[in-house]
Structure 1
Amino acid sequence: MANRSAEGAAAQETETPFGALSVLVVEDESFTRMVLAKMLGTLGVQAVHQAADGESALAAVAAHAPDLVLCDVEMQPMDGFGFVRALRASPESRSRSLPVVFMSGRVDSDREAAARASGAALVLAKPVTRPACASRCPMG
């Protein structure tokens, strides 16, 4: 029985790659934000912060100092590209290097090139799944 407990604990550790990271979810649709927050919890994220657009995301980055940002591309009044440009222009070195992962309903070479040019690490197709996030998101 002790071996099963140890194996279970090891399996749980490998299933929670985010460890004690803090993640900011930037998404204009509240239901999608809630689903992403719950999914991140299943990955072991200790703190999930939320913002509805790029402007509120900048304030959330300053307030919570997340380790990773999952950001929708198409939002108003400030979209994901505007958010990342503002983040990278910040005088704070932490903001300039903060990993940002875009989420988009459209993922093609043009969108990926624009994401990288703006300073985002990568683009995940929406709806974002737990396996895609666990395998592709930078873990800090």
Structure 2
Amino acid sequence: MSLKFSGSSVNLSKIGFLVADPSELYRELFRRLLHGFGAKTVHEAADIATARRIMKDRQVDFLICAADLPRGHDGGTGADGIELVRGIRLDAQHKQRTIPIIITMGTARRISVGQARDSGANFVLSKPVSSTVFYDRIVWIARSPRPFWENDTYFGPDRRFREPGQKGAPKRRRADKGVLEVVDVG
């Protein structure tokens, strides 16, 4: 499902959201904000196991996932929301592989933001999240979709933001030299 927009707003009424956060308070906050923005379908998960089940059984077009999402009842340790996102993006058979994903985190240290970005998230937001910033990021994703890149260790939106006026900048990244493959998800 692609996001629909007109004027300066985005029509979220037909988008299925999944808010995956261990905090009941944050799940309720995001649910209320999304309903206020016009969303009609907002699913909630407190752990990775529940999030996976909902993504398998329900229409999920957009994921808001906490970086500290616990594993849940499916066993094992060490998994978190970032690993959930990485697993979705790297699984070529996953039906929601290209959905927009926002990762939220309480402490947005540079290394944590880098890990979230490298997992394939479209955006990383630091908690507490203001309603304006949250809505702006959803609109940004709808209005400025970035091409997806794929290699052996990464599948997701182009991690670089293109600034107007940067056309003459030297190409220093490996990706600029054709190492990565651009994937058309449109």
Tell me the TM-score normalized by structure 1: 0.80
When residues 37 and 86 of structure 1 are mapped into structure 2, their CA distance, relative to the original with a 3 A threshold, is same
1:45-94 residue CA offsets vs partner (Å, 9 max, x unmatched): 12000111122111111111311100000122241112112212334353
SS at match of 1:45: coil
Name the counterpart of 1:7.
none
CA RMSD in angstroms, aligned pairs only: 2.0
Contact 2:102 2:122 in 1 (8 A): yes
Larger RCO, structure (CA 8 Å, separation 6 or more): 1
Name the counterpart of 1:79.
80
Query: Which structure's residues are more often helix, by fraction?
Result: 1
**Once the two structures are aligned, what percentage of the paired residues are identical?**
25
Q: Does 1:120 align with 2:114?
A: no
Q: Does 1:59 align with 2:53?
A: yes
SS at match of 1:33: helix
**Structure 1: tracts of 5 or more residues without a match:** 1-12
Q: Paired residue for 1:21, among 15, 30, 46?
A: 15
Cα distance in 1, alignment partners of residues 87 and 102 from structure 2: 15
Contact 2:20 2:69 in 1 (8 A): no
**Structure 2: tracts of 5 or more residues without a match:** 1-6, 72-78, 146-186
Q: Does 1:99 align with 2:100?
A: yes
Larger Rg: 2
